[in-house]
Amino acid sequence: MVLTLGKGQLEDISFQLAVEVVGEILGITESDQQGKIRRIYNVLNASISKAKNTLLSKFWLNFRRVVHTGIFFWYDVRPAIKARKLQPKDDAISTYLQEGYSNTAIIIECLTYGSAGMLTTREFIIMCSWYMLEDENLRAQFLAGDDKTQLAILMEILRLEPIANKVLRKLDEPVEGLSEQTLPAGEKYDIDIRNINIDENFVGECPFAIDPERATKQKDTGRFYSFGDGPHGCPGWQVALHETRIFLTHFLAVPGIRMEREPDIIWNDMVHGYELRNAIVACD
């Protein structure tokens, strides 16, 4: 669709890929592709939008959320549930059915995976493309690298430009030694991923440089804090990295590929992260 015209909007390309990959994991595979992407876009867009501080605006946003969730359920989730009841597959919806989840519980899971896995990967692919279309040396290093080097470069870009900027945690027990006073149990804290990821004590020297060897030097996987950590750490981190790596290996090798219009950077308070919009890529 995109390359036949010689140019395309990068967020459309990356979102389509992210929807297909997470859709396969969930088992949302029984509906038409373009319609599914449009419906998922509408439901997720409504769920991460913020209403103005008026009753009418709040009502309108809630109305949009309910309607788009209903449409998504009817055209995409319901057919998938029906198909998996007849013939289970190796996907999440089949597992939810085996475990007796209700329709409501299944749609909540689908929306959680949608915002956690589709929206994040959409931005990640755009950010990595931007970095590498701007920097010829980095792009050459990426294209010439083996899988390990390619993944290391992607993780370094994510370290500097984390999609999720903070995670929230509640203390189970009092913690001593972090500040003058003991931090009491039950207290909630924001963990600032962007700052942790550039802390020399954690990531080593020259924290603002992209260094594919950093993970080895620091004896880390290279994900640092970009995907969170602990029991609620991101379960899809390897999926996100691999799909991005495979896509970029082909995309960046297209002859004459270039960024015709750089993205606008928008801050989204609802997801505590950035969104990159209106980037146009073109090729000869």
Residue 235 within binding range of ligand HEM, rule CB under 6 A: yes
Q: Which is nearer to ligand HEM, 72 or 227 (CB)?
A: 227
Asked if residues 117 and 236 have their Cβ atoms less than 8 Å apart, the reply is: yes
Pairing assessment for the beta strands 280-282 and 258-261 based on DSSP bridges: antiparallel
Q: Which is nearer to ligand HEM, 8 or 228 (CB)?
A: 228
Residue from 22, 80, 132, 279 that binds ligand HEM (CB under 6 A)?
A: 22
With a CB cutoff of 8 Å and minimum separation 6, the contacts of 104 are none
CB of 263 to ligand HEM, least distance (A): 16
Q: For the window 159-188, what string marks contact with ligand HEM as x by the rule CB under 6 A?
A: ----xx--x---------------------
Q: Which is nearer to ligand HEM, 24 or 260 (CB)?
A: 24
Within residues 87-116, the interface with ligand HEM by CB under 6 A covers 112-113, 116
Write b or e for each residue in 107-144: b if 16 or more Cβ atoms lie within 10 A of its Cβ, otherwise e: bebbbebbebbbbbbbbbbbbbbbbbbeeeebbebbee
Residue with tokens 């990595």: 128
CB of 5 to ligand HEM, least distance (A): 28
Within residues 122-141, the interface with ligand HEM by CB under 6 A covers 124
Q: Which is nearer to ligand HEM, 115 or 141 (CB)?
A: 115
Helices (H) and strands (E) in the chain, counts: 13, 7
Residue from 228, 251, 274, 279 that binds ligand HEM (CB under 6 A)?
A: 228
CB of 284 to ligand HEM, least distance (A): 30
CB of 151 to ligand HEM, least distance (A): 12
> CA-CA-CA-CA torsion for 15, 2, 151, 265, nearest 10 degrees?
-60
Q: In the chain, what is the straight-line distance between the N-terminal and C-terminal CA atoms, in Å? A: 15
- CA distance linking residue 190 with residue 169, whole number of Å: 7
Task: Please give the structure tokens belonging to residue 191.
Answer: 């963990």
Where on the chain is the footprint of ligand HEM (CB under 6 A)? 22, 25, 112-113, 116-117, 120-121, 124, 163-164, 167, 226-230, 232-236, 239-240
